[in-house]
Amino acid sequence: MASWNSIPLEIAYETFGWIAFFSWSISFYPQVILNFRRKSVVGLNFDFVVLNLTKHSSYLIYNASLYFSSAIQHQYFEKYGHGEMIPVAANDVAFSIHAVLLTAITLFQIVIYDRGNQKVSKISIATVCVVWLVAAVCFFIALPSNSWLWLISIFNSIQVFMTVIKYIPQVIMNFMRKSTDGFSIGNILLDFLGGVTNYAQMAVQSIDQNSWVNFYGNIGKTLLSLIICCPSKPVLSFTFHLNSSLLPSALVLMDTFCSLVHGGVYKE
């Protein structure tokens, strides 16, 4: 396995990684605290939480397996070259563990707090069942040949798919209610910051190693960052349209982020 060529770049890599960890991890708490204070989960879409638990569980399986398993790491080096670094860092594993725990706590809040007439939709239940059934089938396909790298890549693909669809039920619900009451907007802003720094972490590794293998060697992490960053503007525009009192401070944050990353300015 390759080693770092530049100590400053290694420090930058760790710094960006842990900023991403704290940004994404902190993003769970506004919703948990809001639920606790209100003793109610009315306004939080339950489909979003259920889909999110499957997403983070899949991502945890991928990150932990590649980070800790020497057998899977060997398969990775066989495929991408022994001169490469593994594309999973300690902050990735730490985030996944924390995300599964906090999502499970949110799900528990749904069970114990006032739910109104809300419930998990049959579509989301069916989606989750199909996803885990596919994962189980893939496990038995991989078992005879010990194709563990291929198997965890399936879980990585699952987390990307769930990331794409998980906000859809919440956005629809906000639109139907013409309100964001019960849903904490803070997690979207923090998601954006986490996506930017996560992508920066990967770029730093590529620059140091003079190789872009880590981008397609962990395509799930690459797509995760892009998916989170790209829809942030339209999602925020729609959400803050429903809650205009939050708009000024949010735009200041968005302008700062965009200036750092794209040299652009957020516009409605």
Maximum mean pLDDT: which of 2-6, 15-19, 207-211? 15-19
CA distance 229 to 128: 25
Task: State the distance between the two ends of the chain, measured CA to CA, in whole angstroms.
Answer: 46
Kindly report each contact of residues 134-139 with a partner whose C-beta sits within 8 Å and lies 24 or more positions away, as own/partner: 134/158, 135/58
Q: Take residue 77 and report the two structure tokens written for it.
A: 């080096």
Q: Is 268 among the domain residues?
A: no
CA distance 32 to 43: 13
pLDDT, position 250: 45
Q: Take residue 239 and report the two structure tokens written for it.
A: 């959400």
Q: How confident is the model at residue 229 (pLDDT cuts 50, 70, 90)?
A: low
CA distance 141 to 192: 36
- Do 120 and 47 touch, CB atoms closer than 8 A? yes
**Longest distance between any two alpha carbons in the chain, whole Å:** 58
Q: Is 43 among the domain residues?
A: yes
Q: Is 242 among the domain residues?
A: yes
Q: What is the pLDDT of residues 169-183, one digit of tens each?
A: 877 887 787 776 776
Q: How confident is the model at residue 230 (pLDDT cuts 50, 70, 90)?
A: low
Instruction: Look at residue 75 and tell me whether its pLDDT is greater than 50.
Output: yes
- Do 190 and 27 touch, CB atoms closer than 8 A? yes
Q: Is 80 among the domain residues?
A: yes
Tally of domains in the chain: 1
- Do 229 and 199 touch, CB atoms closer than 8 A? yes
Percent of the chain topping pLDDT 90: 53
Percent of the chain topping pLDDT 70: 82
pTM score, whole prediction? 0.81
Q: What average pLDDT does this structure show over 24-32?
A: 90
DSSP reduced 3-state for 40? strand
- Do 156 and 62 touch, CB atoms closer than 8 A? yes
Q: Is 143 among the domain residues?
A: yes
Alpha-carbon 92 to chain mean position: 10
Q: What is the pLDDT of residues 96-134, one digit of tens each?
A: 999 999 999 999 999 999 999 999 999 999 999 999 999
Q: Is 99 among the domain residues?
A: yes
Q: Is 267 among the domain residues?
A: no
**Domain housing 56:** 7-261
Q: Take residue 118 and report the two structure tokens written for it.
A: 């809300």
Helices and strands (H and E) in the chain: how many: 13, 0
Q: Is 118 among the domain residues?
A: yes
pLDDT, position 106: 96
Q: Take residue 40 and report the two structure tokens written for it.
A: 């109610």
